[in-house]
Amino acid sequence: MSLEILLFIVFSLISVISAILMITRSNAVISALYLILNFAGLAGLYLLLNAQFIAVTQVIVYAGAIMVLFLFVIMLLKPEHEKKFLEAKPKLKIFAVAIAAIIFLQLIYLLFFSKPSESLSPEMTKSIDSGTIEAIGKQLYTNYLLPFEAAGFLLLAATVGALILAKKKIE
Amino acid sequence: MTIPIEYYLALSAFMFLVGVTGVLIRRNAIVVFMSIELMLNSANLTLVAFSSYLGNSVGQIFVFFVMTVAAAEAAVGLAIIIALFRNKLTLNIDEINILKW
Amino acid sequence: MESNTLLTILLFAPLIGALLTMFLKNSQESLIRYFGLAVSIIVFVISLVVYYFFDSNNPDFQFIHKFRWIENLNVFYFVGVDGLSILLVLLTTFLTPLTLLSSWSGITSRVKEFTFFMLMLEFGMIGVFLSLDLFLFYVFWEAMLIPMYFIIGIWGGEQRIYASIKFFIYTMAGSLLMLVAIIWLAVYASGFLGYFTTSLVDLYQAGPTIPVSIQGFMFFAFALSFAIKVPLFPLHTWLPDAHVQAPTAGSVILAGVLLKMGTYGLLRFNLPLFPQASIEYAPFISVLAVVGIIYGALVAMVQTDMKKLVAYSSVAHLGFVVLGIFSMNQIAIQGSIIQMINHGLSTGALFILVGVIYERTHTREISEYGGIARLVPFYSFALMFTSLSSIGLPGLNGFVGEFLILTGAFKSSVLNSWLFSIVAASGVIFAAVYLLWMYQRVVFGEVKNPKLSGLKDMTAREILVVIPIFIFIVWIGLYPNTFLKLSDKSTSKVIEQVMNPGKSNLSLP
Amino acid sequence: MLNSLQDLYHIIPLLIVSGGILVSIIVEMYSKDSEKILFALSILVFGAAGLFSLYSVNNVSILFNGMLATGGNVNVFSFIFNIGAFIVTLLSADYIRKYGTYYGEYYIILQSSVLGMMLMAGAKDLFIIFIGLELMSISFYVLAGLNRKRYNANEASLKYFLLGAFATGFIVYGIGLIYGTAQTTSIDILTVRFPQLTGNLLFLAGVLLFLVGFTFKIAAFPFHMWVPDVYQGSPTVVAGLFSTGGKAAAFSAILVTLAALFNGNVGSLFTPYLIFVSALSMIYGSIVAISQDDIKRMLAYSSISHAGYLAIGLAAGNSEGTAGIIFYLAAYSFMNLGAFGIVALIEGENETNLSIASYAGLAKRNPALAALLSIFMFSLSGIPPFAGFFGKYYVFFAAIKSGLTWLALIGILSSVISVYFYLRIVVLMYFKDQGEEVIPSKSAMGMVGVVLSAILVVLLGVFPGSIINLISSFL
Amino acid sequence: MTQHIYLTILLPLLGFLVNGIFGPKIKNEKLIGIIGSGSIGLSFIISVISFFETLNLPVDKRQTIVTLFPWINVGNLNINFSYQVDQLSLVMALLVTGVGFIIHVYSIGYMHGDKAFWRFFSYLNLFIFAMMNLILADNFVLLFLGWEGVGLCSYLLIGFWYDRKFEKSTTADAGKKAFIVNRIGDFGFLVGMFLIFMTFGSLNFNDVFNRASIFNVSEGVFSLIAISLFIGATGKSAQIPLFVWLPDAMAGPTPVSALIHAATMVTAGVYMVARCSVLFASAPAVLIVVAVIGILTAIVAASIGLVQNDIKKVLAYSTISQLGYMFLGLGAGAFGAGIFHVMTHAFFKALLFLGAGSVIHAMHEEQDIQRYGGLKKFMPVTSKTFIIAALAISGIPPLSGFFSKDEILWYTYANGLWFLWVIGVITAMLTAFYMFRLYTLTFEGKSRFGSDKHPHESPKVMTIPLIILAVLSVIGGLIGIPEIFSGEHGNRFHNWLSPIFKQAERKMIIFGTHSHFEEIALMTISVVGAAAAIWFARHIYLNRPSIAENLSRKFRLTYNLLLNKYFVDEAYDYTIVNPIVKGSTSFLWKIADNKIIDGTVNGLAKVVAIISVYSRKLQTGLAQFYAIIMVLGITLALFWIILSR
């Protein structure tokens, strides 16, 4: 078992378990913390995939900024703890879980039926280059200039929007 | 990279569906929202995995934009939740059902 | 692109009139009334010009005005008249001023809107009869529903809402199916002709080449829409409601012109477009028509409401027309055409007369009347005269139509059975029963209802409304050739198209 | 990348709108009179962008390394969005004041959403579609909850947001699968590679998930559930924008992607899915609309059913279908905006007078409004000679041409049902006497907006040829 | 004048229009009367001139066709307003205008003082107009125009006093009944026309009759045509089973009964059958039917006539009975004899009715013969003319009735229908009996009316027509003296008409030869029988009224049956009219139309509404539920993707 596989197993276990825990904890704060753990696990997987830039962004932006925002709001609103999720409308919820399971099985079926790995030869070197900040930055400011600009407007709109919705005092 | 890409994809699919399950069963609006974030992240994993195995950075750039979007959504979404909480003092989405039929 | 703008002028004159009406002030009621009347009379005069220049020896479309309307869909603004439509156009332009005149005192609220809708209705009706592009036809066919809907809904009786919605949805359901059929036909034709078109003249050539099995579907898709409008049994139940609830003018136009659109459609579209299917299903449709004749008559007989009675009589009368059309010989189809006109005149007049008395007493219940002959002699005469025309008394118009239809149906090679004609002929008996019975209960006997004692006879205006109709009733009754001549050649052409599909050479300039 | 000044010329509509956003922010920050200025500015921006789009409709080009297309149908769409927003702005002038508050940011968000729509319409890459979609969606979430003090608005925006984000999740996942299997996000390259990918189930699943996300946005069955709640809770004019601009933009994106699928002879790949969506949307929307008492909710269900009619054009999958969709969208935008505009005018303060019963006897009190609303209702129910009819005609035509006659028949069935509830409004206005005292608000701007819509509805109805020509010349 | 025969049609029309339009303005009854009668009088003169013109023509050129203008021309259907003057139509024209004129004149007196005097005359003129169309038409359709037209006038005139009660209902009811029963007959006539047009490709008399002799048409088709036409005739001429309207038609003013329901209109059926003799002759089976129906009608009506107490009712049943005789003649192939009886019957029956009118006039609208009696001394002219007519109808030689009736009976016998002959003789005896019952009860014996009645002779304007008709009743038969009496001239009337029936007679079996002795013997039997019946009637009602009472008591059942006219009206009501009305109301309208058809439509709408109410519940308002639905959709879609590959 190579290190790569070992790391894969470790990171994926972290991600999967933290994801499951995240949706099953009744306390929102704990859920949020598990989600951060999940993001960290994902960051590890990204590194494993030679996506250094994304891995770093994942930690800084997602785990760092976004999740802090979540925690902040949770703390601010202090929602009461949820009851066990099966208490209200148990049939519907079991049904929901069942459907999710079915979709999972469907996706797995599709995945192993079409075998994407057959058409993909792992090209290590290229992928190492493609994940660097340099490569991505270059792409971002040349080929992907338009989405980049648009993303600026997106953030602008989100800022303004959040401002309208959450601002307390009304002039 | 000796791990077949299917493993990554299966992992991603599983987490995606965990996120879906979270959306479907949790009652706290913030947690539902977090589950959506989980879905987005799983999708990101797919993109990055493909990106690496294909050897082009398009997927990773896309993930970058997804993160941007997620950030923006988080800002707006949490603002909406705050605004709602101010009026209703609850985050339980089972109780948010005045508009129906 | 031919450009004989005469028909376009005829078509758009009422529209312009209607739009101009909008500029008048609500308060100037009599001005609006006179204006509307003037417009409709001008339209009638224009239609007389069309009649004057119409060449009855030419079986093809005349006064064609054609230009591209929607380029990409290859839709044309394409209007023209032939023998099948000219009479109906004249009927429309003839009846509209009369209905406007007849509602002089009946419509007292929202006069401006009323005049507007009536003129819009005229626009739509003329459009239906002139359109030679199926798309254009459909536009007019549907658009005309709107003013009628308002006329019933705003100025109607107590249950006007139910009636107007029923009318609207009923007719729309059928016509939407026709829309699909029109598109299907045009798409089919584009394979046959090489270009997409909804032009009737082109489709006449493509239609008969449709495989017979599919033609049946197409036939019924068109026929359903027309049958609802006619209305053919058992699709008739919207009619009594619409008629009873509509104001007089609405009933007159509804019975006089709108119902004819159905029979006109059958004749103009179903027969030439789907000849094989038409022949195959002619007995079936004819059975419905004959059932309608008897059924309509029987149900009319036992009605207690005068308008409802007349409405059911329409079911019976239109049954004759449909029977004639599907007999598919010269005599029967000519009879059908003349019968369409007859029904427009007779039933129109009946509705006007019911309206006249309703205005005075505010009831249409037959049992409320009795013995008014002495009080309102001219009215009694007018009602008698109209009833006789409707009954089909020889010498008046109704007979000519019914006789031709029955004679034609009797020897029809398509129906190939005497039974249709014989059973239909028994409808002649029932017509006498229900109309005379009503007449007797309303007009004869002693005056029992004290409310009737002050009843006033028809005013000069009301007489002016019915006299022109009476003139035509007698004219058609005694010298129908004036009218038969107009449609003679076109009828032959239709029969040729049905009997020898594809062979008939449509020479169009 | 832009290579020349000429390229800049091509994206002037985009520049106008994005410039408008920036200027608006500055004005909002520094001006006390921002309400009037921003209104005027928005009118100017949308009007200029819309008209310029139409004017420069022939400037067909691909910019930004094959990311963005301009000219042709992109500009037609842009015209629809901008004129729609133009009308929405007119309607909003007095409407947003009904809440007793004014948010200058409203106009900024409005412009942002239009920018998002325009990006979606012009996209030649999944990136642009995604970013455009999110820009629009996020703006919409905000607009839905604009009236933050009203609980209904909160609820609407939360539902919209949660479900919208949920759908986004699927879109991203779908894009991931598409990218992984096709190895590209460029639409043009996808188009080229598509024939080899039709056997790849993973790719198809990706496309499907992507489509599902957009089915959500166009409000079609079974992803329509958010629509009535959101429309009901959102400010009326905003709901008008959702149902027109939002739907149109989502359709433009589907058209852009499916254009790849429509090329070649495997175009019918997703036809069963689209037929399913289309048929059920039409029927469900029409049927449920019958039993609605709230006019906005009724219009929401009508919007679902119209999504179904539009989807007929997708299912048909031929150029007539595409042209039909675009025309239908134009027609639908104007008639629906008109209807929402009148609803906004009738609506009293604190979301009163929204029940259908409030319209009783309107014709007597306000004949002009009643006549206009009748036009919109007739147009919505697809009666000639109004624009709605030609839209229906076109999509039915497309369906029949590609052999889907029975789908057109379902469309008919739904139309017949829908006539009932559209006519119900007309019945109330014209045939019933006044119920409760309802005084439509006096809003000159609102009236201008409604009348403009009506004029467009009638013009598109009587002379549909010009715009149909325009659309189909670029197919 | 023959070329201007259309004037006989236009003049009455003109009279109708003038009186109809200006009548209410003309207050002067005399002027109205002169216009009304004058137009008919002129018509009569024109007819007479035409008659003599035709008489002077050679026998084979006696047919003239006058075409006014085309009527209906479609395909091979060509129908014109053209009139045919020939021997048959001239006889009828003379009869109609002549008797019509007399009755018009009589009406001036009879209708004196009526509120709607002008209307009466305009209707009468319209009737003559229609009747002239009927008899002068050269094609079936034009004949039908007249045929329906007379029906209309009959309807209008029966209901003339529309606000009066008549028996259980109103006069208008009676009029309606007449029109509708006639229409049932017309239905048969219409079908006959269709068959004729289909078979012979024309509806012109000349074409049809010529082709009927030439074309190879099976007897079955001829039978169908003939039976259809005969159904038409039974309606118009009140034969079984459509005779029920005629008694009710007595609701009209008496001159109307005289003109329309005795002399002219009701004989239209006879005329039509005679006109179509070729067609009937080609269908021998139908001829037998005609004869049987005729004689059955004759005896049934006569038997009812025995017990009726209304003076006009008695005459009405007598009319039906006499019409039955005419059909017996037609059925026996004696078309000429039928027409002859039409003529004589017109004279004496018009006279009877006018006489009855005179009595009714004098008795202030009293019509019950039980309340008359002894009127002879008050009304000498009326009673004298009445007895002449009664003798004529009873077949007492040499009055007109004798010749015509005997000719019919003789042909019946000669044609081998001896059983029908027996019934015919019995009917003749019944006729004689009830006529003299009527006469005796009315004019002889003691007065049975109250002192409030002051009977008086009618004015001259009424009595002079009576006298003229009486003269005609006496001498009318002389033009048809049978061969055995007239010698070499033969039967003039018969000879005059014979060209018309030549084609028909050629088709029929030649009569068996019978001796003169047989003819005279049979004649004697019927005359003696009639005379005996007359004596018996006078004996009973003048001297022994108790016999009648005893008889009626003894045969209570039969008496009631006769008094109630065999309950035919009631039977029709119960078997046909009520089921149709009830069925239409309770089933067709209330159930089929309202419940089934409308119910289906409204039910569909309701179903949609119900589905709507239930399916809107799907919209629970719960965001998560919405998400579940979405996910469900995605699952299905993925299944589709998986399964479709």
CATH of the domain at B56: 1.10.287.3510
Examine residue A115 and state whether it is found in any structural domain, yes or no: yes
Top mean-pLDDT range of A126-140, C32-46, D249-263: C32-46
Rounded Cα–Cα distance for residues E12 and E447 (Å)? 42
C166 token code pair = 């029923």
C78-92, D32-46, E552-566: range with lowest mean pLDDT: E552-566
Q: How many domains, in total, are found in chain A?
A: 3
Nearest to E642 among A92, A99, A109 (CB): A109
Burial class (CB in 10 A: 0-12, 13-18, 19+), E553: exposed
Domain ranges of chain E: 343-563, 569-644
Secondary structure letter of residue A62 according to DSSP: I
Of E259, E260, E360, nearest in space to E312 by CA: E360
- The mean per-residue pLDDT over the stretch A29-56 comes to 89
Mean pLDDT across chain A: 83
Q: For position A86, what pLDDT does the model report?
A: 62
Of C347, C361, C414, C353, nearest in space to C382 by CA: C353
| pLDDT for residue D265 is more than 50 | no
Q: For position A158, what pLDDT does the model report?
A: 92
CB atoms within 10 A of CB E1: 17
Chain C segment 162-191 residues within 8 A of E by beta carbon are 166, 170
Q: For position D17, what pLDDT does the model report?
A: 92
Q: Look at residue E73 and give its three-state secondary structure.
A: strand
Rounded Cα–Cα distance for residues D368 and D375 (Å)? 11
Q: For position E486, what pLDDT does the model report?
A: 65
* Chain E residues with beta carbon closer than 8 angstroms to that of C426: 187
Confidence at D174, pLDDT banded by 50, 70, 90: very high
Rounded Cα–Cα distance for residues D310 and D279 (Å)? 10
Q: At what angle do helices C238-245 and C160-193 cross, to 10 degrees?
A: 130
Q: Do D162 and E623 touch (CB under 8 A)?
A: yes
Domain ranges of chain C: 6-497
Q: For position D266, what pLDDT does the model report?
A: 46
Rounded Cα–Cα distance for residues E595 and D422 (Å)? 27
Of D78, D8, D89, D16, nearest in space to D50 by CA: D78
Q: Do B99 and E616 touch (CB under 8 A)?
A: no
| pLDDT for residue D138 is more than 90 | yes
Of C191, C196, C337, nearest in space to C260 by CA: C337
Q: Look at residue E407 and give its three-state secondary structure.
A: helix
Q: From the CB coordinates, do chains B and D have 3 or more pairs under 8 Å?
A: yes
Q: Do D201 and A145 touch (CB under 8 A)?
A: no
Q: What angle do CA C279, C284, C288 make, to 5 degrees?
A: 130
Query: For the CA atoms of chain D, what is the radius of gyration?
Result: 21
Confidence at C504, pLDDT banded by 50, 70, 90: very low
pTM for the full predicted model: 0.90
Rounded Cα–Cα distance for residues A99 and B24 (Å)? 10
Pairing relation of β-strands E64-74 and D68-70? unpaired
Q: How many domains, in total, are found in chain D?
A: 1
| pLDDT for residue D267 is more than 70 | no
Enclosing domain of residue B10 = 5-95
| Residues forming beta bridges with residue E368, ordered by sequence position | E310
Torsion of CA A47, A49, A52, A53, to 10 degrees: -130
Mean pLDDT across chain D: 86
Of D468, D315, D475, nearest in space to D389 by CA: D468
A97-101, C109-113, D100-104, E209-213: range with lowest mean pLDDT: D100-104
Interface of D with C (CB under 8 A): 323, 378, 383-385, 389-390, 393-394, 396-397, 400-401, 405, 408-409, 412, 415-416, 419-420, 423, 426-427, 430-432, 464-465, 468-469, 472
D175 token code pair = 């894009």
- The mean per-residue pLDDT over the stretch D214-221 comes to 89
Q: Look at residue D348 and give its three-state secondary structure.
A: coil
Rounded Cα–Cα distance for residues C124 and C120 (Å)? 6
Q: For position C509, what pLDDT does the model report?
A: 35
Rounded Cα–Cα distance for residues E479 and E340 (Å)? 9
Q: Do D172 and B66 touch (CB under 8 A)?
A: yes
Chain E residue at shortest CA distance from B95:
E622
3-state secondary structure chain A: CCHHHHHHHHHHHHHHHHHHHHHHCCCHHHHHHHHHHHHHHHHHHHHHCCCHHHHHHHHHHHHHHHHHHHHHHHHHHCCCCCCCCCCCCHHHHHHHHHHHHHHHHHHHHHHHHHCHHHHCCCCHHHHHHHCCHHHHHHHHHCCCHHHHHHHHHHHHHHHHHHHHHHCCCCC
Cα separations in angstroms, B41 against E111, E530, E546: 110, 124, 124
| pLDDT for residue D44 is more than 60 | yes
Between these two residues, D340 and C444, which has the higher pLDDT value?
D340
Rounded Cα–Cα distance for residues E429 and E527 (Å)? 9
Share of chain B above pLDDT 70, in %: 99
- The mean per-residue pLDDT over the stretch C403-411 comes to 88
Cα separations in angstroms, C326 against C37, C412, C414, C419, C489: 38, 9, 8, 14, 18
Q: From the CB coordinates, do chains A and C have 3 or more pairs under 8 Å?
A: no
CB atoms within 10 A of CB A36: 21
Examine residue D459 and state whether it is found in any structural domain, yes or no: yes
Confidence at D99, pLDDT banded by 50, 70, 90: low
| Residues forming beta bridges with residue C62, ordered by sequence position | C81
* Chain A residues with beta carbon closer than 8 angstroms to that of B35: 22-23
- The mean per-residue pLDDT over the stretch B39-62 comes to 88
Confidence at E206, pLDDT banded by 50, 70, 90: confident
Mean pLDDT across chain C: 86
Rounded Cα–Cα distance for residues E192 and E176 (Å)? 24
Q: For position C155, what pLDDT does the model report?
A: 86
Chain A segment 79-138 residues within 8 A of E by beta carbon are 92, 95-96, 99-100, 102-103, 106-107, 109-110
Chain A residue at shortest CA distance from B76:
A162
Q: Do D415 and C172 touch (CB under 8 A)?
A: yes
Q: Do A114 and D200 touch (CB under 8 A)?
A: yes
Same domain, A104 and A31: no
The amino acid sitting at E545 is P
Confidence at D163, pLDDT banded by 50, 70, 90: very high
* Chain D residues with beta carbon closer than 8 angstroms to that of A70: none
Which alpha helices (DSSP H) does E56-86 contain, by range? Answer: none
Share of chain C above pLDDT 70, in %: 98
Examine residue A126 and state whether it is found in any structural domain, yes or no: no
Q: For position C506, what pLDDT does the model report?
A: 46
Q: For position E510, what pLDDT does the model report?
A: 57
A partners (3+ CB pairs within 8 A) are B, D, E
How do residues E215-273 score in pLDDT, each as one tens digit?
A: 877 888 888 888 888 988 888 888 888 888 888 888 888 888 888 888 888 888 888 88
Rounded Cα–Cα distance for residues E622 and B99 (Å)? 9
The amino acid sitting at D80 is I
Query: Given A19, A52, A82, which residue is the final one in a domain?
Result: A82
Judge whether B44 and A37 are in contact, CB under 8 Å: no
Q: Do B81 and D158 touch (CB under 8 A)?
A: yes
- The mean per-residue pLDDT over the stretch A164-169 comes to 74
Q: Do D419 and C168 touch (CB under 8 A)?
A: yes
Q: What angle do CA C310, C313, C315 make, to 5 degrees?
A: 125
Residue of E613, E617, E622 to mutate, interface with B, max B Cβ within 10 Å = E622
Nearest to B25 among A96, A101, A103 (CB): A96
Q: For position D20, what pLDDT does the model report?
A: 92
| pLDDT for residue D117 is more than 90 | yes
| Residues forming beta bridges with residue E139, ordered by sequence position | E204
Q: For position E379, what pLDDT does the model report?
A: 83
How do residues D274-329 score in pLDDT, each as one tens digit?
A: 888 999 999 999 999 988 888 899 999 999 999 999 998 888 878 888 888 888 99
Share of chain C above pLDDT 90, in %: 9
E95 token code pair = 């009869």
Q: For position E444, what pLDDT does the model report?
A: 81
Burial C164-180 (b: 16+ CB within 10 A, else e): bbbbbbbbbbbbbbbbb
Q: How many domains, in total, are found in chain B?
A: 1
Same domain, A63 and A140: no
A121-125, A129-133, D266-270, E300-304: range with lowest mean pLDDT: A121-125
How do residues D429-459 score in pLDDT, each as one tens digit?
A: 888 877 667 777 778 888 899 999 999 898 8
Chain D residue at shortest CA distance from C112:
D367
How do residues C169-205 score in pLDDT, each as one tens digit?
A: 888 888 888 888 888 888 888 888 888 888 888 888 8
Enclosing domain of residue A72 = 1-82
Q: For position E337, what pLDDT does the model report?
A: 84
Same domain, A77 and A42: yes
How do residues E342-392 score in pLDDT, each as one tens digit?
A: 888 888 888 888 888 888 888 777 788 778 877 788 888 888 888 888 888
Same domain, A59 and A73: yes
Q: Look at residue E415 and give its three-state secondary structure.
A: coil
